[in-house]
Amino acid sequence: MNRSIRRNILVILIVAQGLLTAVCATALVVYVNQQRLAVIDTELERRIGLLVAALQIDDEDSSKLVFTAPETPSEGDLYIIRDQKGAILGASGPSKALPEQAVGAASSFSFAARGEPYRGRVRRGIPVIDPDEENSAVLTPQVSIWYAIPLVDFDRGSRRIVLIAVGCSLFWVASSCIIAWFSVTNGMVPLVELARQASAVSERSWALSLPPDVRNISETRSLALALEALVARLSAAFQRQRTFVNDAAHELKTVVAIQKSSLQVALQGDKTASEYRAGLERALEDVDRLNALVYRMLSLASIEGSDRAKESDLVSLEETIFAACDQLAPVAAAYRVAITTQFTGRYLIASEEGLLQTLWVTLLENALRYSPPDSSVKITCSLDGQIATVVVEDCGAGIHAKDLPHVFDRFYRGDASRSRETGGFGLGLAIAKAIVEKHHGQIEIKNRRGSGTIVRVSLPCA
């Protein structure tokens, strides 16, 4: 089942809005009913006061009371008046209609009588004062009054209030849902546009034209920037891959063409055994060159494609440099170039076996190749915090300024190294850069003042 952000947001908003509206509507209904009950209780007090006013002290016996039923009580009202001895002085309807015993000490109560709901109120110990009596020492008789009025109109009004509250709540929730739907839909437009632009990206078109709204909205800005950066990296990687394939095909074509030419020359006319041997030797050299090219291409692909997480061996940096110097000692002797080393400590690097040695061999081989006879190549190593820096310096002619930005590009070769005698396929420094980046380090190359080249490699220590 597909999940929808829009649906989740709307469900959360609807549930939250519904709960909030229900709580507010319930609180409003309860509050209004309480206020209406307070008004009814006030009316009961007023009507009880009318009954008290209808009580008079008997002229012959001051301990007795005389009740004259008023004409004002509304139809359906129930009341009972009792004196201090419990005798009924007056009542409306049957005396058992009011739940006198069940009321207890409560001043207000609700009950049902004759199939209708009632609201009642009781007042106990109400003194009946004779306005003509001037002697305050005379004890005044007291009465208790139970009075109740029907709640039919009250219940009918309460139902109307509930219906109005429910109707308003439903209208409010429906309006909120519609507004939320349009708001969420409008808010999702930048994401839809972002998805549309992203789906248009292909290997033939890496253009990602995002509208300004996508970048101006804080919630989508980070996603848009990340997507643009991803597309840019993929475009660059795809372009590098395409360039690599084209250059590799060109190099392979060149080597194969040379090899074919050598074989064709060897097969032309009748030749002596020595001439055939010379032709086969040239063909073997071409095969060796093809083998070297394929090996370097596979090395570069292996370095760039291997998993860095499995590199857990700690390797001594100076030992890898010494091993590279020993490996190139015959080459240095052939070029009549001395290799000098200088170290200021011992450094451990997390690396795969042989990678760092390959790095130093590549850099030293280039330095030896372009250094003049009877000169030297110097390699130094120092530590700055947790960063080990290795510097390789030669005394050659340096690199042309226009070639410096491209020396790490695959198959790039400057004019001074295009001949078959001096130089390679333009993959050495590309392999060196891949090894350094694999170790999360940095490599830079620049011309030394005067003459020569300086290669600086920085690697994090373990």
**Residue 258 falls in which region: left (phi positive, over 0), alpha (psi -120 to 50) or beta:** alpha
Q: What is the pLDDT of residue 366?
A: 87
Angle between helix axes 355-370 and 317-327 (nearest 10 degrees) is: 50
Predicted confidence band of residue 416 (pLDDT cuts 50, 70, 90): very low
CA R_g for the chain: 52
pTM for the structure as a whole: 0.51
Rounded mean pLDDT of 275-301?
76
Smallest CA-to-CA distance from 190 within 216, 208, 229 is with 216
What tokens does 181 get? 């739907």
The rounded mean pLDDT for the chain is 80
Q: What is the pLDDT of residue 417?
A: 44
The lowest-confidence range among 28-42, 96-110, 168-182 is: 96-110
Dihedral angle sign, alpha carbons of residues 52, 53, 59, 62:
positive
3-state helix, strand, coil in the chain (%, to 5): 55, 20, 30
Question: Using CA atoms, how far apart are residues 18 and 37, in angstroms rounded to an integer?
Answer: 28
Alpha carbon separation from 259 to 88, 247, 264, 293, 422 (Å, rounded): 135, 18, 9, 14, 19
Give buried/exposed letters for 185-218 (b at 16+ CB in 10 A, else e).
Answer: eeebebbebbeebeeebeeeeeebebeeebeeee
Predicted confidence band of residue 17 (pLDDT cuts 50, 70, 90): confident
Spatial strand order of the sheet with 142-150 comes to 88-91, 78-83, 142-150, 116-127, 108-113
Angle at the Cα of 24 from the Cα atoms of 21 and 25, rounded to 5 degrees: 80
Rounded mean pLDDT of 172-195?
82
Question: Using CA atoms, how far apart are residues 86 and 100, in angstroms rounded to an integer?
Answer: 11
pLDDT per residue as tens digits for the range 319-355: 889 999 998 898 899 889 999 988 877 888 888 767 8
Predicted confidence band of residue 93 (pLDDT cuts 50, 70, 90): low
Alpha carbon separation from 135 to 54, 61, 140 (Å, rounded): 22, 16, 11
